[in-house]
Amino acid sequence: MRVIRPVLLAAGLLAVAGTTQAAELKVMGDAPLAPALSKIANLYRQETNTQVDLVLAPSPVVKQKIEAGEAADVVIVQPDFVDELAKAGKVVAGDRPIIGRVRIGLGTRSDRPAWDKLKQSLIDVDTLSFNKVQSGNYFATVLERLGIPEILKPKIVRTSPTGIFEPVLKGDGNDVAAGTIPLIVTSPGIRYLGPLPGDLQGYLTYTAVLLTTTQQREADETFIRFLTSSRTKGTLAANGVN
């Protein structure tokens, strides 16, 4: 049974895709999931002949797009945003399977050396950039726990989630960015320094739900089941989603 289970899953996905005649799905998701979702979308297309079009942006932006009326089939964001969308009648109430979670880490320019001790290394930076949304807000609490926010205040640059690397790449010294690990490890020119250690680590959790505007609910549910199946666990983990 263990040997044939993946084959049966693929066969089931093909059967459902065929019966629903779903040739295309539009999935909106949070930017840190981009490396994993792009690979999963390609795998799903190969197994079901269903094209998955991804619209990826920070969770607040995804929420704003949906509230403004942008149509899609599935949305993958943090639970708090799903709660707000559900209250607004934008997503289907019901089960909200957890797709995975991402950790927060640090990155610097690829020509800079690796770090040793976190607290002193942070104090020694020339600039420290992190975003203005959930992962950045969490990192701000880490600085407070380390007792160094006032020391670092003149060096801190708060940006959009996708803008945290610009100060690092343009800097000519010891410049560091804090953000989600999948974005750090896939950004050109950035050296991944490592995750936040021990109990300083924080996580962003992601869940998937259907939008109320979808016209192909059965196909959407099949895709969500695929996201949470054993077929995708390795791909998620390899791209920073656990």
Residue burial 124-135, b: 16+ Cβ < 10 Å; e: rest: ebebbbbbbbbb
How far apart, in Å, are the Cα atoms of 110 and each of 13, 25, 55, 107, 202? Answer: 42, 37, 29, 9, 24
* One CATH from 3.60.20.10, 3.40.190.10, 1.10.260.40, 1.10.10.10 for 5-100+207-238: 3.40.190.10
Give domain 102-200's CATH superfamily.
Periplasmic binding protein-like II (3.40.190.10)
Q: Report the mean per-residue pLDDT for the chain.
A: 88
Instruction: Average the pLDDT over 72-94 and give the result.
Output: 93
pLDDT digits (tens, 9 = 90+) for 178-237: 999 999 988 999 999 999 999 999 999 999 999 999 999 999 999 999 999 998 999 999
Q: Residue 149 is encoded by which pair of tokens?
A: 């926010």
Same fold for the domain at 5-100+207-238 and the one at 102-200? yes
The whole-model pTM stands at 0.82
Domains of the chain by residue range? 5-100+207-238, 102-200
